[in-house]
Amino acid sequence: MSMCARSMSTMSKLSIIVPVYYNEETLELLYADLKEKVIKKIDEYEIVMVDDGSEDHSWFIMMNIAKMDPNVKLIKLSRNFGSHAAILAGLERCTGNCAVIKAADLQEDSELLLEMYESWKKGNNVVLAARKDREEGKTQQFFATLYYKMVRKFISAKMPEGGFDIFLIDRKVIEVLKLLDEKNSAITLQVLWSGFQTDVIYYVRRERKVGKSRWTIAKKIKLVIDSLLGFSYLPIRFMTAVGSVCFFGSLVWSVVLFIQKLVIGIPIQGWTTLMIMLLLTSGLIMLMLGILGEYIWRCLDASRKRPPYIIERELHIEDERENKYF
């Protein structure tokens, strides 16, 4: 597909979306880094910080930053809704011609945003910042590699091998994501699913030196489940495959036992074999019911029409207004 650069007359305002969750130690450092490496080098910008239910001093630090820079907008969610919801809240309120997601943990060099921005100006609608390597522990690297291999095999071959969290999207992509009324989803996979013209920029993810990661095991497990159930047929096909194997296996075993009894005269084993088969079958049934239950619960969650997030406060110093939602 041919790629046309955006004309000089095209508006090029960049929105920087920063999800915030217990980042009181990094926010001022992050803003200083953005100011030095990004803000000074572009014509028009805004920073949209979204506090996803932090209970530390993140919101007060965000307000101090907003007082220093009239282009900073603040959003405070009523509780922790997750990074997907926080990013969506920022995208729905940003006004840029393109928007880039920037983590607040200082593990990506802010100069990366400029490379992505330049790629967007060349005509790409989606620019992914993919990890070429990680300066992290072996355990973290192992599970991350395992997850992205699973995604590439069962969900989308377009996923970069090292995966990505940071991405820049054009206004048309933002509008598509706003239309996707999906809960229990993964916004990175939604970006890939949209299918727009994409460029990939590689970088080395640095070790986190300030603050503590809130990316818990429970959240990682939920991401895997959301990814598989929301973007893959694998769970249903797995149930079909297991059911088929059990059916044909039991059929073959029945024939073998029948032949042994009639032809060879070997007596059929009693309670031990029966109990093993009963426990195995019961376990498989519970597993299948659990998978079906996940689908049913997600259908129920979607049918309740609850919003993906609730905004408690918005603050934009330039407009000198503060809205509160109860």
In the chain, the N- to C-terminal Cα span, in Å, equals: 48
Question: Among 3.90.550.10, 3.40.50.300, 3.30.230.10, 3.40.50.1370, what is the CATH number of 14-212+308-324?
Answer: 3.90.550.10
pLDDT at position 1 is 41
Instruction: Return all residues near 92 (Cβ < 8 A) that are at least 6 apart.
Output: 178
pTM of the model: 0.79
Q: Could you report the per-residue pLDDT of 13-65, keeping only the tens digit for each?
A: 999 999 999 999 999 999 999 999 999 999 899 999 999 999 999 999 999 99
Report the pLDDT value the prediction gives residue 221, as an integer from 0 to 100: 83
Residue from 313, 254, 321, 317 nearest 59 by CA: 313
- Tell me which residue of 111, 46, 33 sits closest to 75, measured CA to CA: 46
| pLDDT score recorded for residue 20 | 95
How much is the pLDDT for 93? 93
Q: DSSP code of 267?
A: P
Give the count of beta carbons closer than 10 Å to the beta carbon of residue 93: 17
Could you tell me the two tokens for 324?
Answer: 């509160």
Average pLDDT per consecutive 10 residues, the chain (326 residues; last block may be shorter): 55 92 93 93 94 94 94 95 92 95 89 94 94 74 84 88 91 92 84 92 81 75 82 77 74 73 68 67 78 80 82 79 46
Cα–Cα nearest to 15, from 94, 116, 84: 94
Distance CA 201, CA 157 (A): 17
Structural domain spans, the chain? 14-212+308-324, 234-303
Angle between helices 187-194 and 171-179 (to 10 degrees): 120
Residue spans of alpha helices (H) in 53-99: 58-68, 83-93
Strands 126-134 and 198-205: parallel
Least Cα distance to 323 among 74, 18, 87 occurs for 74
